[in-house]
Chain A
Amino acid sequence: MIRFALAVFAIVCMVLPAGAERLFSSVSTETVQITSSFDGERLTFFGTIAPDAGAEQKFVEGPFHVVVVVVGPTQDRVARKKTNNFGVWLNTEQVEFKGFPSYFHVLASTRLRDITDVNTLTTNYILPESHAISPNPAGWWQTLNFGHELIRLMSEQDLFGVQENGVLFHSESFYSAQLTLPSNAPPGPYIAQTYVFKDGEIVARKSDGFAVRKIDFERFVAFSATQYPLLYGLACVALALFTGWLGGVLFRR
């Protein structure tokens, strides 16, 4: 809870204008609803860069670059490595990553290394790797290795990704970015952090939240399974017995 409060505080601080530019941004969907037919959803992030409220200038001067970082709820995750022991492949090594994002996608208007330097990208958690280099009892070398592999595994499931042509500028100051949330996107609170870069410096930033939520039947099932596990289990058994019995009755002739 404290961690969450700190995160909110940090975000509030970050929303404060950093330069003479100001960013107005929004996301097309505030709640992504998971129904039985949920098969991913397309989201659009859009916004416009304007002069800051107190600034004297009447229009903004580019060129700007925009990076949108979409982060899903965090989890504790382990990366494991199999090694060959006397001819049998076993999971022998593992590194745990606490508070690792379950979803992380970066959308940028051009190649990230053309926008700014690696240091800025890392300290602002724009690169996926920046989540895997936090201090870890496993030692830095193992952490680096396993972190790299974990990000690769997440990318293979479409949970991590970088799209360096993901943000499209429609005018000097108006942009939009499209993101397809996959069907295995974990439910929970998401944050879309948008950075505006000019000459390699962050000149404005803003964060927008959206939620991925199970609704109706899916929500009911997930809720029952965690809140009333005994009843849920009994319901599963009753359903199984009924289906089995019904099958016998229907097909017996």
Chain B
Amino acid sequence: MARNTYYGTLVLQIYLPIAELSVNLFFLVGIGGAVGFLSGLFGVGGGFLLTPLLIFSGVPTAVAVASVTGQVVAASTSGALSHYRRGGVDLHLAMYLVLSGIVGAFGGVAAFDLLREAGQLDLVISLGFLVLLGFVGVLMLQESARALLKRRQGVVVRERQANQHNWIHGLPWRVRFKKSRLYISVLPVLLIGLFIGFVGSLLGIGGGFIMVPALVYLLRVPGSVVIGTSLAQVVAMMAATTVLHAVQSQSVDILLAFCLMVGGVAGAQFGAAAGMHLRGEQLRGLLALLVLAVAIRFGLSLVLTPDDVFSMAVTSVAP
């Protein structure tokens, strides 16, 4: 590690072998830690914050997306393990989600490569984040605002509505998921997995913030196993996506991912501890605001006149 002292401040630069540029080590571990803190606080992977931050700080989009995929695995592992020990993981359900998720990830990584060649990767990533985060953010904000209001009026909020059924529960090929106490069709389960696999590998996010609401509102999975199952699914699917990215686009920077992991894993522990002091609906409200802020940021980048209308990319390295 180089130690250059500029005007009394210690600057540690580290060379990233795949991104082929040199970045400040404290900056990498710092954003890893900050995002890790938020992910521990809210129980999400944090990829939706980390990928944009890296792109913004000059890491090539492809390397950022692929390397964050690795970081999400690390960030979700300790959470998934502790939920598993407490019996909060429905492995049967997770398996269905992961298998269809991997199929989706194949599609996502292929689309990622095609878009990169066509020069539209940044556009689709911005658009994807905007639509997805905007939609989920508005939904979460609505829900948590309603819950906060009700609490203020003294109404007891019921956390889950397992006995309520919707049209999804009427579909064929029903399977019994013992741990979740569900007897539902596998079709919506597979579709959710497929969608999150595709979107997650394309955008470099774990998709926990889509998975959790999907499990709660669409499948009516009980609250005790939602987070654990979602985390287990994220670990397995992002692990598969990391390998796919490594094979297909060869843009996983192990050093970048490791720096982010170290910061992220440490930050997540403090975030989880801080989360104990906040109520569920407050947490969800804050997360909703955060998600919306990122969505608006991406929306603006599409609409506002860019600083530079020109950009460049390497299409292939001549032999």
Contact = CB atoms under 8 A, between A and B. Distances in A.
Interface of A: 1, 3-4, 34-40, 73-84, 87-91, 94, 96, 98-99, 102, 146, 149-150, 152-154, 183-184, 186-187, 214, 217-219, 221-222, 225-226, 229-230, 232-237, 239-241, 243-248, 251-252
Given A88-B303, A90-B123, A240-B70, 17 more contacts: A73-B317, A73-B318, A76-B316, A82-B310, A89-B305, A89-B306, A150-B310, A153-B312, A154-B312, A218-B17, A221-B255, A229-B247, A236-B257, A241-B239, A243-B74, A247-B78, A252-B82
Contacts of A102: 314
Contacts of A229: 246-247, 250
Contacts of B304: 89
Contacts of A88: 302-303
Contact of A244 (B78, B306, B317): B78
A39 B250 contact: no
Nearest to A235: B254
B123 to A, nearest CB: 6
A89 B268 CA distance: 36
B244 A222 contact: no
Nearest to A38: B15
A237 B22 contact: no
A181 B293 CA distance: 39
Interface string B296-317: 0000001111101111111111
Given A75-B318, A91-B311, A239 B250 contact: no
A151 to B, nearest CB: 10
Interface stretch (B170-178, B218-226, B258-266, B281-289): B258-266
B242 A237 contact: yes
A221 B120 contact: no
Nearest to A150: B312
Contacts of A251: 78, 266, 269
B310 A149 contact: yes
B317 to A, nearest CB: 5
12 contacts: A75-B318, A76-B315, A77-B312, A150-B310, A221-B18, A225-B18, A232-B252, A236-B257, A239-B261, A243-B74, A244-B265, A247-B269
A243 B315 contact: no
Contacts of A184: 20-22
A244 B17 CA distance: 23
A36 B258 CA distance: 14
B246 A244 contact: no
A183 B70 contact: no
A87 B303 contact: yes
Contacts of A89: 302-306, 309
A67 B101 CA distance: 58
Given A79-B310, A244-B265, A245-B81, A187 B73 contact: no
Given A39-B22, A91-B123, A248 B77 contact: yes
Given A39-B4, A88-B303, A186-B20, A243 B317 contact: no
A233 B119 contact: no
Given A82-B306, A236-B257, A75 B314 contact: yes
A99, A183, A230 interface centre (most CB from chain B within 10 Å): A183
B8 interface: no
Nearest to B261: A243
Contacts of B242: 233, 236-237, 240
B81 A37 contact: no
A80 B243 contact: no
Contacts of B79: 248
Interface in B233-249: 235, 239, 242-247
A244 B252 contact: no
Contact of A233 (B4, B77, B247, B302): B247
Contacts of B74: 239-241, 243-244, 247
B258 A225 contact: no
Given A99-B318, A244-B73, A234 B243 contact: yes
Nearest to A79: B312
B71 interface: yes
A89 B266 CA distance: 39
Given A81-B309, A233-B246, A244 B2 contact: no
Given A79-B312, A90-B123, A153-B312, A240 B261 contact: yes
A81 B247 CA distance: 30
A234 B73 CA distance: 12
